[in-house]
Amino acid sequence: MENINNFNIKIKEKLNLEDYKEINQLQNLCHEVDKVSLKLELDYKLSRSEVEGKNIDNLNEFLYYYENMLVGYIGICEFGGAAMEINGMVHPSYRRRGIFKKLFSLVKDEGGKRNPKKILLLSDNNSISGLEFIKNTGAEHHHSEYEMFLRRNSETNSSGNNVVLRRAINEDGREIAWQNSIYFNEEFKEENIPMPEEEEKSGILMFIAEVDNKVMGKVNIEIREGQGGIYGLGVIPEYRGRGYGREILTKAVKILQEKGAKDVMLQVEAKNKNALNLYKSCGFEETYTMDYYKL
């Protein structure tokens, strides 16, 4: 039995490059052994910490070490909304020793201090141990999301050319927050208004979609290490059913490919059948399902 003194926990507001490398190495090992996916948002977190350049008020990173080796990790993600997303892992050789349970108790304490509207626990739908742990917390299923990747050599041309995507500026923040409240069924709040010019510094490009100079939708894109991502795509209800969603999607894919993206991925809520069918018709395929449980 290892000496308990050889274990220690590090709690931090944000990641640095050394943390990023250690967590990513552990994530790759867990993926190789378990064949399941994690949603840790490490690239986003690292870029945010580099942009902010200072400590933040909340504790988001919980790292568990045996001697000098990272054997457990839980991270908290917040994207300007009212929900805390929690996801983590334990080294395959150090499981069933209470490591994740201990880290999770610290995360719950932090959540109690913040008093968020929602605390969401995430697990790959194929992770038996992850789902078992979550269900033992008493959390209830909230929703599921598919991650989808664009098939190589897929044609994503749109039949129309009416939509214009323009880079969002800070003055568009209120419009973006208002649209998010529609698409994600959340209350509009002043504190949830994003600053697109600030987000761009961390690699998130926000676009406003317009037709005849009238705003009718939006989309966010990012590219990291050759992989492009499409997020927050939506069309205002009165403009739906006219093919504008397909135009926004195909233009977003084109922008990413022009920026050098070798792969393009997106995420869609499983019950959003219209969006799911649209993405499939444009050449996207499901790769895994992430389950969200509300604590």
- 276, 164: one domain: yes
Three-state DSSP class for 209? Answer: strand
- 187, 97: one domain: no
DSSP-H helix ranges across the chain: 17-34, 42-52, 99-114, 128-136, 173-183, 196-201, 244-258, 273-281
- 192, 265: one domain: yes
42 lies in some domain = yes
- 128, 179: one domain: no
For the chain, give the percent of residues with pLDDT over 90: 72
A 10 A CB-CB count for 124 gives 21
Q: Quick one: pLDDT at residue 52?
A: 62
Domain boundary among 97, 116, 138: 138
Q: Which residue has the tokens 């968020």?
A: 116
* pLDDT tens per residue, range 165-210: 999 999 999 999 999 989 887 778 777 788 999 989 888 999 999 9
- 156, 277: one domain: yes
Contact of 85 with 32, CB cutoff 8 Å: no
- 268, 197: one domain: yes
Domain boundary among 77, 103, 138: 138
DSSP per residue over 251-270, as a string?
A: HHHHHHHHTT-SEEEEEEET
- 131, 178: one domain: no
CA angle 166, 200, 167 (to 5 degrees): 5
A 10 A CB-CB count for 257 gives 15
Three-state DSSP class for 295? Answer: coil
Min mean pLDDT across 4-13, 124-133, 144-153, 266-275 is at 4-13
143 lies in some domain = no
The total number of structural domains in the chain stands at 2
* CATH number, position 261: 3.40.630.30
Domain boundary among 138, 169, 198: 138
* pLDDT tens per residue, range 36-81: 999 999 988 888 776 665 555 688 999 999 999 999 999 999 876 6
* pLDDT tens per residue, range 114-131: 877 789 999 999 999 999
294 lies in some domain = no
246 lies in some domain = yes
Owning domain of residue 62 = 4-138
295 lies in some domain = no
Residue 1 pLDDT class (50, 70, 90 cuts): very low
Q: Quick one: pLDDT at residue 94?
A: 95
- 164, 88: one domain: no
